[in-house]
Every structure is written in structure tokens, then in C-alpha cells.
Structure 1
């Protein structure tokens, strides 16, 4: 089996998924997931991924899978094929959506392994649209607005889109967290957002490294006052932003170094 072929696999409840298993999922939008990067069969921020899955399951289904059951599926996917890969761990109900039968029933777990990816090199320019994600604290599936606004941004000559809420606060980007730099401190937007696992890793390592950071409400007009900005998700701790709408953002190589240093300080774990 080639390395590329071995990198792709899909497991449901720890067993290889058949076509008949997967067909219903093509039409299912009531689920949540986490995305993690595996390098040398190790993962950073595993505790954050497990917490995300547990808390979202309780919110959506009224109960969560035991961590050990989740870990078993992740271990199986990591052990198979290439030592480097991207994993998507999805929690869903076999009862499907648009039904009350999924309430209080132990959900299932789907783990898909894909080729490793480290994200775009950047820099990126973001359009600005008013949008608030439903249940923003959950990384749920079926969010067509993310792709819709990405497409509109590209049509306008941007690389992606950033969201502002009804109060005019910048919150997040389509599949990214936003983060800013004032020349001394790391500044996180205060709004209803999904707290990313990369965001959690960077925040705790910045604390360990003694780098100042704070949360504050950031309006569109405030962007011009910052010395740098970036997007981050599981792929990367930081891709430089050089424009948000009509606001030009200075290139901040020092800021990128700070973010990447924080990520490198996080230990990778064998699952």
C-alpha cells in the first residue's frame, strides 16, 4: 500500500467505515467535530480536543462519550499509515437530525485521516461581513455560511472573510481565530467565538513564556491602531494578515515569531 493510500482512512466507533455507513452522513448536519494535526504520531493540545468534544456532546446530545473511547478511535487512526496526517474527529448521532431520538442517546464517533497540511503561507487579506455563528462555542458541521462568505471574499479580491457581530465587534474568521498585536501584547477579540484548540495552546504557552496578553472588544475602526494581526487554527499558530477590509495592517514578523514560538513550546504527546 502506498503512503498516500495509507494516509486516508475512516473509522466509525473504531471500525473501518463501509459505504453504507457513510451514505447517511452525507445528509447529516447535526454533529460536531475537532481537527488535529498528527506529526510523528504525536498530537499537541490533546486535552483541549477532548474537552471540546466532551462539552459539545453534552450541549448537543445531553451526554458524551467516555474520553477513553474517543482516544481508542484516535489511536487506531494514528497507528495506521503515515506518521504525519491530519485527523478530523466527528461526533454524531446515528439517529440523524430533525428527530428527538438523538436526545440522551450515546453518540457515535467518526475519525477520518487525511494528508498532513500546515495551512497557507500568507499573508492574507480579509473582507469584513456581519455574521454571527449559531452556537458559536461549538465547532459544528453544516455551516454553509463559512464557504459562502469565503467565496464572496475571493470574488472581491480578498483571501478570506472576517466576521463582525451585530454590535460591530470583530469576532473570528471563517475557519480561523483572529489575534492582534499592539507591539507589546497579544490581543484577543472579546466576542462570541469558538475558542480554538490552537488558540488554547498559544494562550497557555504565552503565559508560561511571560508574554503579555489580554481580551478586549475590537471594532473595525480599531484595526488601524494595531501593529499586526494574524489568523490561526489547527493547521498553524499564525498566518499574517495585511488587510481587514479597507484597513491596512502592518506586517509584523516579530508577532509571527511570538505565536510560532508559543506553539513550539507546547509538548507533543503520544496518544
Structure 2
């Protein structure tokens, strides 16, 4: 189905559930036509509009985007992944006042790899890490190099030696009593936002601190998360191995499931 300037792809092709699948992960919509953390998704879209030289006159109204998302939900399967990409038909290298368009795509609900994953440590800092954007070939490059080296995916360290995030994931750690989040420049994922909010409501201790590869042996568990899932167990980062931490992963899932469903 295609509307003016807005395409909907309801392909039912199943994507492989590996760490390399679904690079353009989207909002996961339940059989009730609702999803968790819609407010985080909208807040993140507004953060991109505040970039220098970005014309506010050309910003897409939230109501317009939400109408398109709802139309896609109505025409898609009961459980689905929903992805909205803002672009210009003139291409990437255009003036800031180019007219934006929206591509909304639906696909099968995706839940990510089961894990546990082994992550290579890669020195890399994303451009504009706090902004969700496309064209990040480096993430795919580093993931594939990691797989060639016998790992499942890659985790990034910045110029200060701090772990920040993984290719398409946020990182979370466990010290036995508290959830520990890395302090570094990164994309604050929507699932990460949901989990942190609900951990607070559940009264679970959490903190943010610099984490370097040398600190990893002191930790009792590790996980990655994104819009697929609030927790994929990580068995190792670089040369550091982590014990199984079922209580930690169950806690992350419990926090995520506590977030209420909201219509897009």
C-alpha cells in the first residue's frame, strides 16, 4: 500500500535472528496494537530536530507521523515490528530545508538472538552518538570483523578507554546487587530508557559510571538490549568472561514488562 509520499511495506519475509539481523530495528507492536515506550521514541525524534542548521519549519509534526504509524498498524499483522525512517527524495547531501518524507515499514515481530554473546572490543566513537541516524556503515563493518575474529558482535570503547555501547545495542552490567550503566557518549536507547525508569519504580539500585575493559572481571554479569529485547546475555567482552547471571536477566525483563502498553 502506498500513500502520498509515504510507503508501507508489509512484507512477511522472516529475518534471521542473529546479532547481524534487522539493522533497522523498529518499534515492536503487540497484538493489541500498542507498544511500550512510545514517549521515548517521540523524544528521540525531537532530539534529531535540534541539530544545528536543521530547519524547524521542515520538521514533521508528531501527529502526522503518528497517523502514519497507526495506518501501518491497522494494515499489518497482529504482532509486528514497525519502522519509520525520515528521508528526502533529493538524497542525503542536500540543504537543511529539504522537504522530509517518511517511509513506514512493517515486518514480522523480532526478538533478537538468544545469546549468550561474545563481544569483541573495538576502539570506535560514533558520529553524533546521541542522535538516531542512518548511514552508519562502520557498525556493520565492525560487527563483521568481530564475527570473522570468532566473536558474535562488537562493543565500542572511546578515546578515554571507556566502554560506551555495542553496534546496535546498549550495554548493561550487574555487580551482584545493582545494575551498572556505562558512562560515555552513546545513543540512549528507548529500551534502556524503559528499563531504567521501571528499575527505579521497582526500587532496584542502579548507577552510571565509567567502565573500562580492565574493570570487567569485577562485574557479575552483562547484557545487551535494544528494541528487540531488554536482555540478551553476554558471556564475554574481549578477554573478560562473565558468569551466568539469570537473576540479572530476569530482572531486566521484569522491568521492561512493567512498562504499560501505549498506542503509537
- Do 2:178 and 2:204's aligned partners in 1 also have CA atoms closer than 8 Å? yes
Larger helix share, 1 or 2: 1
Change (3 A) 1:75 1:146: same
Change (3 A) 1:90 1:15: closer
RMSD of the alignment, in Å?
A: 1.8
Q: Which residue of 1 aligns with 2:72?
A: 77
Which has the higher mean CA deviation after the structures are superposed, 179-188 or 63-72? 63-72
Q: Which residue of 1 aligns with 2:29?
A: 38
Shift of 1:97: 2.1
User: Which stretches in structure 2 are left out of the alignment for 5+ residues?
Assistant: 10-23
Shift of 1:11: 6.2
Shift of 1:158: 0.7
Q: Which residue of 1 aligns with 2:201?
A: 208
1:6-85 alignment, distance < 5 Å: 13-14=5-6, 16=8, 35-40=26-31, 41-59=33-51, 61-63=54-56, 64-85=59-80
Structure 1 residue ranges (4+ consecutive) displaced by more than 3 angstroms after TM superposition: 9-17
Shift of 1:130: 0.2
Q: Which residue of 2 aligns with 1:20?
A: none
Number of equivalent positions: 246
Change (3 A) 1:158 1:181: same
Q: Which residue of 2 aligns with 1:91?
A: 86
- Do 1:10 and 1:113's aligned partners in 2 also have CA atoms closer than 8 Å? no
1:110-259 alignment, distance < 5 Å: 110-259=103-252
Change (3 A) 1:221 1:37: same
TM-score for both structures, normalised by structure 1: 0.86
- Do 1:49 and 1:197's aligned partners in 2 also have CA atoms closer than 8 Å? yes
User: Which stretches in structure 1 are left out of the alignment for 5+ residues?
Assistant: 1-8, 18-32
Return the alpha-carbon distance in structure 2 between the equivalents of residues 15 and 152 of structure 1.
34
TM-score for both structures, normalised by structure 2: 0.88
